[in-house]
Structure 1
């Protein structure tokens, strides 16, 4: 720390001994003592130095003390310097008045009392030091203020000229500042921009998402926020805006608010859309070209597959007309004609099936089907083909497998196609295995692999859905030529063959597996193909949803039993929603599922209905005016069970935060769904909450 600078004290007296006496008294102050023996010398000292106080002798030859004081006061620099007159003569009133008129602050008579002198000089020294300190602070403050003005001007220029909009929001959600570019993006004036925050300019179709994301950002305390939204400006213009924000913290880490930017990215979004459109058009063109190539390849294969048996059939027919064959040759000719005719019939059936699939006209005749019987029938049908190539078929069929809901002829077609495919691509003396078993899934596997079965009856009809955690699995495993990894994803596509050239070693149109996949999916199942690679065989896995346990009785012989589509038949449902359209939609949907529906718009009406009709189930929107659904469920749960206090209830809400979920469940609802509500999901949840037996529902 640097020592404090010394203060100047001017001593003026024409006698040296007096100056020495003054110096001896004042040196204990530790300040800088400047001596002058005349008024002129004193004035010279004042030219370049400032003094805390001047001790001035009155009686001096030439220029006396009064005259010197007058000249000191005439100079701007020393006009306020304190002057203490020293005199050896008694001071008359006239002399006092003259001295004070010249700006003296005091008179001291010689001989001077040491303590008085020290006391008075000390006061002026301290006053001078404080005055100097104040001046220094004033200079420093002026410098700081100048820097602040420059900083403010710089900020104002940066904010005004910024290419992005800038905003500041405090912790209460109040907008505190916006720059001109922000106002231009939102289409509002400076004053209007402070009455709204940017969320209010987001397009109505995206506002719910924007509010949810912004609320999550604030609640989680994330360091940065970045989202793209469409804005609908006050002038009705739509533009794309990228919103960025970060938290504003004090030096102590306290949250002060949020500062952010709005950037108009409309041109960029339009360029991205143009680029995406170009990519889509290029992809569509490539797909169309590929489809044309596949069509040409398929027509070439079709021509080959039709002409080949026709050659044999026409040839043997001409030979038979000649009537020059013995009985053995005639039998051989008829056998060849029949075999090739059967082959053509199968080709035509495949083509017709594909045509029906494309037009959506492939229909199922549903009933409960025992897959063991179907599999055994398919095995018997392909056994001659296997024996002709000395292929061994090993079937492992679990006799405890339950029935599935399906079309027995189409299910047999699925298994027959997979078996003939395996036999076709397996060389002589190879092996084909068939496994039939029931697989039970955990909840997680059930969600990932087979959440439910969905059976499509025909085009234009709603599919039938099974709620199941188990399925029947059929696997056909061969030791054949295998499937190349790059072709494996395309194995179920129509008109696709790994080898479509005229030199290919296997016959067929490449339709069998495509038909199998479609039939499996119509039955609500899945099909997978696996192969380690060329020459290492292949495995085809088919999974079908099980029939509900209570559907395996004698009623299951009736096909209509499988297509039952009113799982909530007789269930009394109370719907509470203030929105008329939503209320009518929910009522219609539940009635379609067989429920008896009462739909009301208020909490009070719902409570009255609850006491009168005692419904079996409650569906309520959370956001109801006056009394929301929290009030409703609290009042319901306060009722005795016999008056509906334990009625199962589901809440519908537009809020999806974790705290909303916990609040809804804590209030007394068994489950909740976020809007927009998926009808299938709602029925699934109702079935789950009611713990109804597994049933079939219309999707």
Structure 2
């Protein structure tokens, strides 16, 4: 399954829980009525109250999760409150857990001393004033929640740092890929193509050798196309986009040149040109736009019935220049239409077509158009066929709003 790298800005905070934190408070008393009373007093705090009826149960709950504090009765059968507190303090994870003793015993110095010796932070005598008890528990709840928030922020920061480091490593890898593809592959490939062309230019070359060198030339040109696609893909992914160098030119002349080249490679197909103006002058990177147009026309030829024409139209509206490529045939399924311009997407077609395509053509075409501050969109239906529309500003002027910012449906072809 292909994978893609996302920019750091795509790291969503949804990866971390945004639900309000709630503290857990452990209530320990062997008398059910006392537990109900404690719950009623502490319910307004809006925290999770866990009630148990023995020291043994309290120890088991502490193994299951963390608590903000413990409210514990002193006199209980089995493990009493003081013995339970001693065991809680003996564990590293719960050593500093706040314990508030609640007891009906008189305030005798021996009990108070023993309670604080076991780590109690307070020693309350029944009946306890509800407001005072809530206030005391609220203090420990607030401390706990602040600590948990700090932990959550630290975890989020660590995750963001890890993601940033991964993106940095990915960017370095992509830069290395540009170097490898741009130099280490192109250089020997250039030698192979030059040698093949030189041999094919020899008049006395035997037929078998000529056929072999023709295969070498076709294979080398195919590798060259793949190298160029991968370089463009990597440039687009690195964040700077595909660079364009605008120069004065005529879009209609460019269309005619590209159509002529395709007529040579696909002699059995018809491309109809419909130009609303004899010329469409502007300032664009003509070499890059030729790449876009060749991709759209080749795509239309591949995915339309053999006996049907492909129509190429151009027109202008204000400072916007428009180009459409339309082909007949089965429409693109609606569920695939929104994903056409994603990288490594292959259209439906023959197995041979799928093998030839990397699925990068439309992705790179859109990046080239967007580098001109233009738009590339697609629509497809049974009645209309499949239409790719390019809108380009007449000049690459970042000081002015792009005329292509209007919704495509609002743009009508004008003569």
> Which one has more relative contact order, counting CA pairs under 8 Å at least 6 apart?
2
TM-score of the two chains, using structure 2 as the length reference: 0.44
TM-score of the two chains, using structure 1 as the length reference: 0.27
